[in-house]
């Protein structure tokens, strides 16, 4: 009961601070010596939020301090990310971001209050959210190849749902349509969950969605998962083929959960946080929980995350221009 109450109030894990022994000078300041705040600029219950609670709980126990998660959805994540960017660079305010915030929005917004490469310190790519192609349960579209054939037979007649203009769902289908050379009609909803319900209710024909968002609807028989966007089939859906093997060779898509800090956070603190992420992701129970939600644990270095951010920014810049996508 106490654990449940702690989770409900957004405070993850408390443990006794271990002895610092003969630690280097920066560690003698006992970082962390007070609770850490993780700002998630997404709604509670989202894939990133759920993953953050699993990983942060393990990190809090290891680090000996509570980690309070604050959800600040709205403005597509701009406001919450801005709070992180303008926070003191002392390791006590962190951001749990998805790649929509980090690499899509900067390519969609003409005026940004922050720069993802200038105003943040990458800590780790924590996990990737794996995606799938979903249709109504009685849809005649049974494979990715069927979707391509239907779109070629009637250009613009097949429609798809997304969580809004410039959302990851929009980007995934724009990428698919670009690679397949087909025309599909975009129907934006107010969020990913609403788009998934729209597919289940036959308001739209198809959608790309994070597995974590639609797995319960798929298991309840309200949606049919016809393909996954991973290089290989997912263990939790072994009978579902990849998009690559079922209609569009080479197609891959996922979204990210990355841990970021304000720019100029001391390197030893960034290193310690990265090590704590890696330690948490090495725990079998943590990995099992994440994979059960349709996520793949990662744990990359700060340097590798910075490289991936630059590559993803360039990728989406090209795609957004090609597909003429706007945030309006």
pLDDT surpasses 90 at 43 = no
Domain with 136 in it: what CATH number? 3.40.190.10
Chain segment 71-86, per-residue pLDDT in tens? 998 787 889 999 999 9
Chain segment 118-174, per-residue pLDDT in tens? 999 999 999 999 999 999 999 999 999 999 999 999 999 999 999 888 888 999 999
Indicate the pLDDT class of residue 247, thresholds 50, 70 and 90: very high
**What per-residue confidence (pLDDT) applies to 231?**
93
Chain segment 209-242, per-residue pLDDT in tens? 999 888 889 999 999 999 999 999 998 899 999 9
What string of DSSP letters covers 249-279? TT---EEEEEEEEETT--HHHHHHHHHHHHH
Which of 193, 228, 263 lies at the terminal end of a domain, its last residue?
228
On whether both 180 and 151 belong to a single domain, the answer is yes
Q: Give the chain's end-to-end CA distance (angstroms, integer).
A: 45
On whether both 6 and 102 belong to a single domain, the answer is yes
**What per-residue confidence (pLDDT) applies to 20?**
41
Indicate the pLDDT class of residue 8, thresholds 50, 70 and 90: very low
On whether both 258 and 216 belong to a single domain, the answer is no
The DSSP secondary-structure symbol of 242 reads B
**What per-residue confidence (pLDDT) applies to 238?**
94
Question: Is 12 among the domain residues?
Answer: yes
Q: Are 13 and 36 in contact (CB under 8 A)?
A: no
pLDDT surpasses 50 at 5 = no
Q: Output the CA–CA distances (angstroms, integers) from residue 2 to 14, 60, 315, in the order listed.
A: 11, 16, 45
Higher pLDDT among residues 140 and 46, named by residue:
140
Report the C-alpha gap between 274 and 128 in whole angstroms.
16
Chain segment 89-104, per-residue pLDDT in tens? 999 999 999 998 999 9
What angle (nearest 5°) sits at the alpha carbon of residue 312, between those of residues 270 and 246?
125
Domain with 92 in it: what CATH number? 3.40.190.150
**What per-residue confidence (pLDDT) applies to 13?**
52
On whether both 64 and 197 belong to a single domain, the answer is no
Mean pLDDT throughout 243-269?
Answer: 95
pLDDT surpasses 60 at 18 = no
Query: What range defines the domain where residue 294 resides?
Result: 2-129+254-323
On whether both 151 and 291 belong to a single domain, the answer is no
**What per-residue confidence (pLDDT) applies to 321?**
87
Question: Is 238 among the domain residues?
Answer: no
On whether both 93 and 201 belong to a single domain, the answer is no
**What per-residue confidence (pLDDT) applies to 19?**
39
Q: Which residues contact 318 (CB under 8 A, 6 or more apart)?
A: none
Indicate the number of domains in the chain.
2
**What per-residue confidence (pLDDT) applies to 122?**
98
Q: Output the CA–CA distances (angstroms, integers) from residue 323 to 101, 131, 163, in the order listed.
A: 19, 21, 17
| Average of per-residue pLDDT values in the chain | 89
On whether both 11 and 108 belong to a single domain, the answer is yes
Mean pLDDT throughout 239-262?
Answer: 95
On whether both 26 and 116 belong to a single domain, the answer is yes
**What per-residue confidence (pLDDT) applies to 77?**
86
pLDDT surpasses 70 at 15 = no
On whether both 137 and 52 belong to a single domain, the answer is no
């Amino acid at each position: 009961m106490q654990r449940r109450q702690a989770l409900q109030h957004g405070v993850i894990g408390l443990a006794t601070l271990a002895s610092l022994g003969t630690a280097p000078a920066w560690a003698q300041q006992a970082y962390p010596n007070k609770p850490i705040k993780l700002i998630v600029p997404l709604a509670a219950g989202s894939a990133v939020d759920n993953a953050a609670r699993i990983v942060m709980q393990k990190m809090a126990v290891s680090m000996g301090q509570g980690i309070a998660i604050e959800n600040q959805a709205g403005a597509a994540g701009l406001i919450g990310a801005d709070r992180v960017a303008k926070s003191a660079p002392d390791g006590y305010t962190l951001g749990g971001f998805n790649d929509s915030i980090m690499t899509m929005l900067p390519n969609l917004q003409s005026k940004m209050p922050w720069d993802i490469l200038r105003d943040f310190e990458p800590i780790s790519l924590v996990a990737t959210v794996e995606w799938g192609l979903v249709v109504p349960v009685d849809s005649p579209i049974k494979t990715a190849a069927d979707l391509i054939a239907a779109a070629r037979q009637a250009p613009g007649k097949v429609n798809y749902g997304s969580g809004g203009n410039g959302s990851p769902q929009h980007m995934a289908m724009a990428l698919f349509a670009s690679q397949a050379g087909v025309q599909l009609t975009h129907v934006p909803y107010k969020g990913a969950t609403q788009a998934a319900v729209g597919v289940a209710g036959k308001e739209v024909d198809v959608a790309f969605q994070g597995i974590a968002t639609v797995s319960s609807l798929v298991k309840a028989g309200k949606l049919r998962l016809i393909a996954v966007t991973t290089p290989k089939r997912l263990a939790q859906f072994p009978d579902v083929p990849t998009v690559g093997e079922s209609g569009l060779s080479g197609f891959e898509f996922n979204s990210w959960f990355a841990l970021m800090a304000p720019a100029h956070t001391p390197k030893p603190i960034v290193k310690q946080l990265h090590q704590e992420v890696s330690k948490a992701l090495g725990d079998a129970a943590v990995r099992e929980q994440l994979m059960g939600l349709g996520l793949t644990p990662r744990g990359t270095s700060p340097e590798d995350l910075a490289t991936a951010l630059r590559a993803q920014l360039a990728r989406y810049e090209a795609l957004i221009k090609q597909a003429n996508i706007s945030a309006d």
